[in-house]
């Protein structure tokens, strides 16, 4: 019922948000009688703030049109490589007419970025993608809003997440011989499971895994997020945060953890910071500080855009990662696409180099939670393992912003380059066909 009440309230407030937006423009226009009032700028700022607080935030676009490589502007075009019921594998294909740059692009390694499915859209990693496009062929998991997925598509489980990741890895291996995987926050756990299962079966695994700010072992330095998941029972979550999608969406009737509840939780973690940020936005508008106001809009256009998660996936993640600690306890079994029950054994990983990254001030994944991956993978030689702690960085700072661009990304880039040589895909079904090889050699992009 809560979801229906929320939607009814949102629909009720929508015309008021539109009115506030129109009023803000009216009072900010000096050519109108309203805009000539001495208090017009302050009134306009008030209406603009009301509009921003009440408006409905839709999924943002990545908006990456070009990337500079060796002082050459390379055009970027988004394509959907694989379309699954709950996720799109999105590719950022690069085009250039410069022969030397094109040769360079074709030689660069392929990277699968596994974005979080924890409330926000994959566009939260826009800065991550933009940086990596300078030196890599980039693919990303673009998770769909569960309320937009019809019930006919079935449920989505944590096992399905793991199987999706394996499918995407094999797809890149089939195209390029092998690939590298970067996971940010929540997906560090299912990515480690996916690669572990591939290793246990004797499949070729990615050349490197980069784990960034994820709850590999949520028992270490538990944060407020961890404590909530640990201190409430599975039945409490099922009874209190799971609702059915209202009838005005394609996924009507689907059981979900609504995005608006997750957003409320995000804000509740730092209410003073958000209150201060909105007040600063109000002051930017009054002072005519367009740059400051636009920075606020860009952040909150992303931060306030949230998606629903399928209930089965959400509840299983709570139980597996934060209550049973099944990964670190060695008790996690995953159902494969063939219906087989397989034990997740990270100790079987041998050929994949391992990089973990944590932020010193991370309040989502505490200190040591991501670094714990090294203890779970004793089969990876120590010379192929590395851990980085980023001084002064919070959770978002390790994959977005100045610290990411200047401190973290150069180390990720160099680590991938260092281990870019490795075993090629051995099975005939996953090796590139001659036709695929010819297409790859002829394509004008990478």
Q: Which residue has the tokens 């805009």?
A: 35
Strands (E), 40-136: 66-69, 72-84, 87-95, 110-114
50/57 Cα distance (integer angstroms): 14
With beta carbons less than 8 A apart as the criterion, state whether 334 and 159 touch. yes
Q: Among the CATH numbers 3.40.50.740, 3.10.129.10, 3.40.50.1820, 1.10.3720.10, which is that of 69-237+309-442?
A: 3.40.50.1820
DSSP 109: P
Q: Phi then psi for 247, rounded to 5 degrees?
A: -70, -15
Query: What are the E-state strand segments in 273-428?
Result: 309-310, 333-335, 341-343, 353-359, 385-390
> Where does 130-178 show beta strands of DSSP type E?
137-143
Those residues whose C-beta lies under 8 Å from the C-beta of residue 286, and which sit 6 or more positions away, are: 41, 42, 45
> 182, 122 in Cβ contact below 8 A?
no
Under a CB-based contact definition with an 8 Å cutoff, are residues 211 and 368 in contact? no
pLDDT, residue 431, reads 36
Query: Can you read off the two tokens belonging to residue 401?
Result: 């912003």
- Tokens standing for 324? 């049973």
Q: What is the pLDDT of residue 30?
A: 84
What residues does each domain of the chain span?
A: 2-56+259-303, 69-237+309-442
What is residue 446's predicted lDDT score, i.e. its pLDDT? 57
Largest pairwise CA distance in the chain: 75
pTM over 0.85: yes
Give the integer Cα–Cα distance in Å for 150 and 253.
9
Rounded to whole angstroms, the Cα distance separating 308 from 144 reads 9
CA quadruple 155, 157, 161, 162: dihedral sign:
negative
Q: Which pLDDT tens digits describe the chain residue by residue (446 residues)?
A: 788 888 888 888 889 999 999 999 999 888 788 777 788 989 999 999 999 988 988 999 999 999 999 889 999 999 999 999 999 999 999 999 999 999 999 999 999 999 999 999 999 999 999 999 999 999 999 999 999 999 999 999 999 999 999 999 999 999 999 999 999 999 999 999 999 999 999 999 999 999 999 999 999 998 888 888 888 999 999 999 999 999 999 999 999 999 999 888 888 878 898 999 999 999 999 988 999 999 999 989 998 999 999 999 999 999 999 999 999 999 999 999 999 999 999 999 999 999 999 999 998 899 999 999 999 999 999 999 999 999 999 999 999 999 999 999 999 999 999 999 864 433 333 333 333 333 344 444 55
CB atoms within 10 A of CB 232: 15
């Amino acid at each position: 019922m809560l979801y229906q009440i929320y939607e009814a309230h949102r629909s009720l407030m929508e015309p008021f948000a539109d009115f506030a937006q129109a009023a803000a423009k009216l009072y900010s226009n000096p050519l109108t009688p309203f805009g000539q009032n001495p208090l017009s700028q302050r009134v306009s700022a008030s209406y603009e703030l009301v509009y921003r607080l009440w408006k409905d935030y839709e999924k943002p676009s990545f908006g990456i049109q070009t990337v500079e490589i060796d002082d050459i502007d390379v055009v970027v075009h988004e394509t959907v490589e694989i379309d699954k019921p709950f996720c799109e594998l999105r590719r950022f294909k690069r085009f250039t007419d410069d022969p030397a740059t094109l040769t360079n692009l074709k030689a660069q390694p392929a990277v699968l970025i596994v974005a979080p499915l924890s409330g926000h859209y994959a566009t939260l990693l826009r800065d991550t993608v933009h940086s990596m496009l300078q030196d890599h062929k980039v693919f990303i998991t673009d998770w769909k809003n569960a309320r937009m997925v019809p019930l006919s598509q079935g449920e989505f489980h944590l096992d399905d997440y793991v199987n999706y990741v394996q499918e995407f890895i094999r797809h890149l291996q089939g195209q390029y011989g092998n690939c590298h995987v970067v996971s940010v926050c929540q997906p560090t756990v299912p990515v480690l499971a996916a690669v572990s299962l591939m290793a246990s079966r004797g499949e070729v695994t990615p050349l490197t895994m980069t784990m960034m700010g994820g709850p590999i072992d949520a028992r270490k330095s538990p944060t407020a997020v961890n404590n909530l998941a640990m201190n409430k029972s599975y039945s409490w979550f099922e009874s209190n945060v799971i609702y059915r999608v209202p009838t005005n969406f394609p996924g009507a009737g689907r059981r979900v953890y609504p995005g608006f509840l997750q957003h409320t939780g995000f804000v509740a973690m730092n209410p003073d910071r958000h209150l201060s940020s909105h007040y600063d936005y109000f002051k930017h508008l009054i002072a005519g500080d367009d740059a400051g106001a636009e920075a606020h809009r860009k952040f909150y256009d992303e931060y306030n855009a949230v998606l629903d998660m399928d209930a089965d996936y959400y509840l299983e993640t709570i139980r597996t990662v934060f209550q049973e600690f099944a990964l670190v306890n060695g008790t996690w079994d995953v159902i494969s696409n063939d219906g087989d029950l397989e034990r997740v054994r990270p100790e079987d990983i041998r050929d994949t180099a391992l990089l973990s990254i944590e932020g010193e001030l991370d309040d989502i994944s505490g200190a040591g939670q991501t670094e714990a991956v090294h203890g779970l993978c004793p089969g990876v030689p120590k010379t192929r393992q590395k851990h980085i702690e980023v001084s002064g960085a919070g959770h978002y700072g390790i994959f977005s912003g100045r610290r990411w661009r200047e401190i973290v990304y150069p180390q990720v880039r160099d680590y991938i380059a260092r281990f870019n040589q490795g075993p090629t895909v051995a099975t005939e079904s996953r090796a590139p066909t001659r036709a695929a090889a010819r297409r790859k050699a002829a394509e004008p992009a990478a």
